């Protein structure tokens, strides 16, 4: 049995070429990673502000502002604690990108608010527990009976800061003065 090595190379070459081309085509069909696939790691970011107001005035302004903005779930004046219900909306910093168009991700959030005193000044501390809804494939999650899951993400703190500014305006409006500076801290 004599083999013609040149003939074998010619016959194997189209097969090898087809396999290499198929691999290149298949690897080119894998979608690129989008920004929403690299979600930020969750961390709690409370935002607090001190006000030149007594606790009772501050409590009333805080309940009014958060009651106007969001549906409230818990209002406990004795503990100085307020909690909103889960609110579904659009993210202000996590987006899907389709053909260069940024579309905000669906999120839900729940705020907890503590009203108290700090060094003789009124203190409001707001914590926002925010989650983004992702499908198990794009988030690389294990299937647990639902295609979509809520994943914890850090808040941008924009909603919390806006609410604290509104509280300051409400307090100053009650005094008949323009809004004073508010000491906001994250």
Between 5-19, 67-81, 97-111, the lowest mean confidence (pLDDT) is in 5-19
Q: What pLDDT score was predicted for residue 144? A: 78
The pLDDT-based confidence of 111 (bands split at 50, 70, 90) is very high
In this predicted structure, what is the pLDDT of residue 10? 44
Give the SS3 label for residue 82. strand
- Whether 115 shows a pLDDT value over 90: the answer reads yes
Q: pLDDT band for 145, please (50, 70, 90 cuts).
A: confident
Q: Per DSSP, which regions of 85-178 are E strands?
A: 87-98, 101-118, 121-135, 148-153
Q: In terms of pLDDT, which residue wins out, 123 or 22?
A: 123
Top pLDDT among 143 and 32 is at 143
Q: What pLDDT is stored for residue 44 in this prediction? A: 81
Q: What is the mean pLDDT of residues 106-113?
A: 96
Confidence of residue 77 (pLDDT cuts 50, 70, 90): very high
CA 181 to centroid of chain Cα atoms: 28
Q: Give the pLDDT of residue 59.
A: 97
Show me where the domains of the chain are located.
35-185
CA distances from 25 to 32, 45, 82, 108 (A): 14, 45, 56, 39
pLDDT at 32: 41
- Reference 66, options 160, 177, 179; nearest CA is 160
- For residue 167, name the pLDDT band (cuts at 50, 70, 90): very high
Q: What is the dotted CATH code of the domain comprising 35-185?
A: 3.30.530.50
What angle do the packed helices 158-175 and 55-69 form, to 10 degrees?
130
pLDDT at 27: 47
Average pLDDT, the chain: 80
> How many residues belong to the chain?
186
Tell which wins on pLDDT, 16 or 114.
Answer: 114
Indicate the pLDDT class of residue 19, thresholds 50, 70 and 90: low
Give the separation between CA 182 and CA 179, rounded to whole angstroms.
9
User: Side-chain half-sphere of 74: how many Cα atoms within 13 Å?
Assistant: 13
- The band of 98, judged by pLDDT with boundaries at 50, 70 and 90, is confident
């Amino acid at each position: 049995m004599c083999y013609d090595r040149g003939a074998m190379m010619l016959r194997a070459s189209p097969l090898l070429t087809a396999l290499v081309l198929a691999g290149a085509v298949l690897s080119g069909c894998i979608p690129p990673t989008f920004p929403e696939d690299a979600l930020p790691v969750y961390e709690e970011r409370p935002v607090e502000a001190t006000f030149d107001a007594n606790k009772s005035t501050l409590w009333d302004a805080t309940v009014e502002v958060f009651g106007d903005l969001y549906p409230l779930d818990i209002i406990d004046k004795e503990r100085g604690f307020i909690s909103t219900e889960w609110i579904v909306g659009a993210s202000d910093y996590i987006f899907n990108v389709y053909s260069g168009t940024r579309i905000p991700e669906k999120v839900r959030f729940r705020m907890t608010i503590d009203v108290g005193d700090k060094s003789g000044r009124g203190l409001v501390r707001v914590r926002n527990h925010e989650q983004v809804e992702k499908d198990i494939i794009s988030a690389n999650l294990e299937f647990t009976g639902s295609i979509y899951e809520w994943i914890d993400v850090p808040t941008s703190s924009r909603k919390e800061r806006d609410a604290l500014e509104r509280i300051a305006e409400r307090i100053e409006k009650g005094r008949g003065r323009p809004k004073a500076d508010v000491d906001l801290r994250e």
